[in-house]
């Protein structure tokens, strides 16, 4: 009788303890960003999302530590970091970020980055981990933009590379807006492949060049979007072998979203998520999931869409964990933790 899949998992991964799906979800919603009345950033969705996933069997909610200045400096300009921490951003810089400065803003931004760092480390051990915020892909090395102070995925990649936990990484950015910050940060770095599938006529209006950009027209809908995603995942360079996938699972391509115009249904987004999880599973790659954007006219719908992604992470976790273990058991050094 063949041994169960988890029997082949290295003990340092602790996979043998997992019979049921188990996913760490890092939440920093208790660090509230104070915003003026009527601000369009949906701060309240994060606490509601935590409550929505709390009861899911197998979810372990964890508060992340904040990213340190040293970690932020692996990606961001030191002078910019200093201005953020001291509250000396110019009016133009603050306006481009879109948040009024406060110490709470700084704490929240650092916690969000810390959550993606923690999720990346946990994904190495468990196959999948989730940041219930994050996906701040508009932040460039020298400035923030579009509700993004620091670029959480970029910092997490650099931290894990510094610690020799990964060599190469793939960013699958499926927020409705192009990941311009990530594209610029990694523009000359062959160790990180940036894929962005977004609304072509949406923010940012001056796009950066990702390794692979697919811009879709307004109102694209499920079928065209999912065909484009299949095309994008098939176009990765044959010689590129990532050690981890970072998935920006934005809810903003949905038809209910105020800032997105791609008109996907909930079923379409569910199928989108399945394709990304299946991609990681087929290649035995750890997967880090961030929520990215979601600005629904009905916040209940946005929260339900994010929860749908977390539910998919739970369903796929044992399968991806087993695939990673099988790959590592074959002696692939790039996948060794």
Asked, for residue 233, whether it belongs to a domain, the answer is: yes
Residue 330 domain-assigned?
Answer: yes
Q: What is the CATH number of the domain that holds 258?
A: 3.40.800.20
- Whether residue 3 lies inside any domain: the answer is no
pLDDT at 18: 46
Name the domain count of the chain: 1
For the beta carbon of residue 167, count every other beta carbon within 10 angstroms: 15
User: Is residue 16 included in any domain, yes or no?
Assistant: no
pLDDT digits (tens, 9 = 90+) for 129-157: 999 999 999 999 999 999 999 999 999 99
Per-residue pLDDT reduced to its tens digit, 68-114? 999 999 999 999 999 999 999 999 999 999 999 999 999 999 999 99
pLDDT at residue 20, as a whole number: 80
254 belongs to a structural domain: yes
Instruction: Starting at the earlier edge strand, list the strands of the sheet with 23-26.
Output: 59-62, 23-26, 128-131, 287-290, 244-248, 169-173, 192-199, 212-216
More confident residue, 238 or 278: 278
User: What phi-psi label fits residue 7: left (phi over 0), alpha (psi between -120 and 50 degrees) or beta?
Assistant: alpha
Confidence of residue 158 (pLDDT cuts 50, 70, 90): very high
- What is the rounded (10 degree) CA torsion for 101, 33, 255, 252? 70
Specify if 325 maps to a domain. yes
pLDDT band at 332 (very low <50, low <70, confident <90, very high): low
Cβ contacts of residue 186 below 8 Å, gap of 6+? Answer: 154, 171, 192, 194, 211
Percentage of the chain lying above the pLDDT 70 cut: 93
Query: How many Cα atoms are found within 13 Å in the side-chain-facing hemisphere of 312?
Result: 27
Work out the pLDDT band at 253, boundaries 50, 70, 90.
very high
> What confidence score (pLDDT) does residue 19 get?
52
In a domain, 296, yes or no: yes
* Enclosing domain of residue 78: 22-335
């Amino acid at each position: 009788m063949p041994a169960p899949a988890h029997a082949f998992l290295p003990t340092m991964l602790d996979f043998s303890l997992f019979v049921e799906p188990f996913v760490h979800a890092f939440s920093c919603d208790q660090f509230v960003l104070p915003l003026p009345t009527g601000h369009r950033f949906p701060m309240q969705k994060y606490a509601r999302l935590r409550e929505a996933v709390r009861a899911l069997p197998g979810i372990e909610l964890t508060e992340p530590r904040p990213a340190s200045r040293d970690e932020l400096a692996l990606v961001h300009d030191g002078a910019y970091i200093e201005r953020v921490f001291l509250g000396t951003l110019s009016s133009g810089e603050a306006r481009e970020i879109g948040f009024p400065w406060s110490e709470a803003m700084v704490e929240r931004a650092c916690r969000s980055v810390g959550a993606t760092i923690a999720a990346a480390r946990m994904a190495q051990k468990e196959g999948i981990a989730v940041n219930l915020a994050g996906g701040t892909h508009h932040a460039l090395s020298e400035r923030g933009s579009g509700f993004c102070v620091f670029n959480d995925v970029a910092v997490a990649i650099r931290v894990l590379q510094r610690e020799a936990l990964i060599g190469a990484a793939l960013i699958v950015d499926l927020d409705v807006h192009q990941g311009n910050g990530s594209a610029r940060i990694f523009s000359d770095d062959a160790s990180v492949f940036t894929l962005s599938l977004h609304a072509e006529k949406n923010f940012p209006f001056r796009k950066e060049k990702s390794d692979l950009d697919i811009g879709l027209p307004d109102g694209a809908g499920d079928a065209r979007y999912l065909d484009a995603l299949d095309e994008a995942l098939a176009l990765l360079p044959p010689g590129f072998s990532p050690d981890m996938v970072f998935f920006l699972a934005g809810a903003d391509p949905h038809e209910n979203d105020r800032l997105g115009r791609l008109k996907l249904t909930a079923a379409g987004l569910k199928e989108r998520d399945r394709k990304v999880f299946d991609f990681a599973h087929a290649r035995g790659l750890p997967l880090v999931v961030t929520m990215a954007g979601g600005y629904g006219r009905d916040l209940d719908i946005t929260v339900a869409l994010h929860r749908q992604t977390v539910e998919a992470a739970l369903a796929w976790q044992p399968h991806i964990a087993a695939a990673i273990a099988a790959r590592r058991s074959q002696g692939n050094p790039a996948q060794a933790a």
